[in-house]
Structure 1
Amino acid sequence: MRRLTKAALATGAGALLLLGGAQTLAYWTADGTATGTDVTAGTLTMTDGACGDWLLETGVPVAEGIVPGDTLTTTCTLTVGGTGDHLALGEITVSDPTWAEANALTASLDVSLAGATLGGAELDLPLAEPAPFSGTQDLVVSVEAVFDTAAGNDTQALTAALDDVTVQVTQAHLVP
């Protein structure tokens, strides 16, 4: 019986060695290198522009002076330029203006963005959907100044000379 046991053990060990060796198959591998290409980012630019005269809410220029409660508007024209496959405007804002000289009148004027057109097309503000554009187009913003009805007597006979107002556009991604 010892021979049978030895033979069985030898056969089992041989089978184990064969099975173990079957799991160490070698596969060929190879490597290669692909040459990359360039990609360039688009652009968003804006050139400085100029604003027109202040107009009263009736659309006529100020003749004799503004009074508390008046709403004035001016339009400022700038040029927006851009390149990019999915370029769009997502937001347009105006900063608080700088005045040639700060005084009680300038402190009583609340300035905000009232409207805008891009390339002649009126934009619905605030932009709910990105406004696609490419190349260069005129951006005309309508800036509104409301003379506070609570303004005091110290605002009389003063001048508010608009030095500048900063218009900022923010890029949006246009989903095709």
Structure 2
Amino acid sequence: MNKTTKGAFAASAAAVLLLGGAGSLAYWSDSETIKGGDVTAGSLSLDTPSCDADWTYAGSVANTGTVVRFVPGDVVTKSCTFVVRGAGDNLKATLTAPQTAAVGANVEADVTVAYKLGAADMTSPAVVTAADNGKTVTAKITVTFPFGTAETGSPAENINNMQGSTAALDDIAVSLVQINPNA
């Protein structure tokens, strides 16, 4: 075999080896590692509230003082202040509360809450950001006891056997819930 034939044969063999014999192609590659580093999470909380000592009557009823004995249809209110704690580059959160609260086993009272940040009224939804860290939020909680239905109504509310009884109004939780910054 002459040198040219041997060289061509060697080149063909090398090409077959590079192709892997199965039609694949060998190629060069490289990768580099990017160090992750530390990231620090933010935070979100409400300090323990400071609340009015008692529920008081609201609206246009004659009795505007402290609630001693409610009757169906009464509207009562209580104010609580919280300090907002929040840190995070894109932190946004809403203040929320339940829309109803149980009064004993038979009654659901309607709940509404109006919020102020400092002295400014907040619109609904009440949104706070990291810029509000350390500021005071006031929640004015209003509970409306239903006037109810007749004893034969369905469901019967504030039925006569509730008169004179003592029933606990459920606790009302004010929550601070983060909003997805990418939504």
Q: For this structure pair, what is the TM-score category when the shorter chain's length is used for normalisation?
A: 0.5 to 0.7
Query: Aligned pair in 2 of structure 1 residues 31, 155: CA closer, same or farther (>3 Å)?
Result: closer
Q: Deviation per CA, 1:58-81, whole angstroms, max 9, x where unpaired? A: 393347743311222222212220
Q: Report the CA distance between 1:109 and its aligned residue.
A: 5.2
Name stretches of at least 5 consecutive residues in structure 1 with no aligned partner: 1-5
Q: Report the CA distance between 1:159 and its aligned residue.
A: 5.3
Moved over 3 A (4+): 10-17, 19-24, 26-36, 62-66, 94-98, 154-164
* Structure 2 residue identity aligned to 1:149: F
Aligned to 2:140: 142
More strand by share: 1
Matched, 1:72 2:61: no
Name stretches of at least 5 consecutive residues in structure 2 with no aligned partner: 19-25, 149-157
Q: Deviation per CA, 1:8-39, whole angstroms, max 9, x where unpaired? A: xx967743643664795x99887766554311
CA distance in 1: counterparts of 2:170 and 2:107, whole angstroms: 16
RMSD: 4.0
- Work out which structure has the larger RCO, using CA pairs closer than 8 Å and 6 or more positions apart in sequence: 1
Aligned to 1:152: 159
Q: Deviation per CA, 1:125-162, whole angstroms, max 9, x where unpaired? A: 245xx532432222222222111212223343455666
Paired positions, count: 160
Matched, 1:132 2:136: no
CA distance in 2: counterparts of 1:14 and 1:159, whole angstroms: 105
Give the structure with higher Rg (CA). Answer: 1
Q: Report the CA distance between 1:40 and its aligned residue.
A: 0.6
Q: Is the 8 A contact 2:97 2:113 kept in 1?
A: no
Aligned to 2:116: 117
CA distance in 2: counterparts of 1:34 and 1:79, whole angstroms: 40
Matched, 1:61 2:65: yes
CA distance in 1: counterparts of 2:32 and 2:86, whole angstroms: 39
Aligned to 1:51: 51
Q: Is the 8 A contact 1:57 1:73 kept in 2?
A: no
TM-score, normalized by length of structure 1? 0.64
